[in-house]
Amino acid sequence: MSPSKKKPDETAGAQEPVGVEAAPDKEQLPDDKAQLQEELEDSREELGETVEALAQKADVKAQVKEKVDERKEQLREAQAQAQAKLGEVGQQAKQRQAPIAAGVGGLVALLLLLLLLRRRK
């Protein structure tokens, strides 16, 4: 039984017996062979999951690679968002060119008019 699947009546500091000490007495074994086989398969599956989890924890290289891959994906997403925002800003700038040009042209015309009026005086 893995530590995460302890029974509620077990104390938090107590360790579960392992090996021969963990084996049930003959009287505790089920009489039905099919039930015994099912319990054995469940135990094997649980043991396999435990071994797999321990192997993953021990594989530091794989953990680092996984973290690097996660960060790369985050950066790709951020880059895509930045490019989309840049595209929006570029479109807005293109749309504003005509009013800005008209405003600048009007300002230049006003300055020329003021300059001409000053010279006449």
**Which amino acid type is present at position 65?**
K
Structural domain spans, the chain: 31-120
pLDDT at 90: 81
Q: What would the two tokens of residue 13 be?
A: 């500091």
Mean residue pLDDT of the chain comes to 80
75-102: burial string, b at 16+ Cβ within 10 Å, e else: eeeeeeeeeeeeeeeeeeeeeeeeeeee
* 50-93 pLDDT, tens digit each: 998 888 888 889 889 999 999 999 999 999 999 998 888 888 77
Question: What's the pTM value of the predicted model, to 2 decimals?
Answer: 0.38
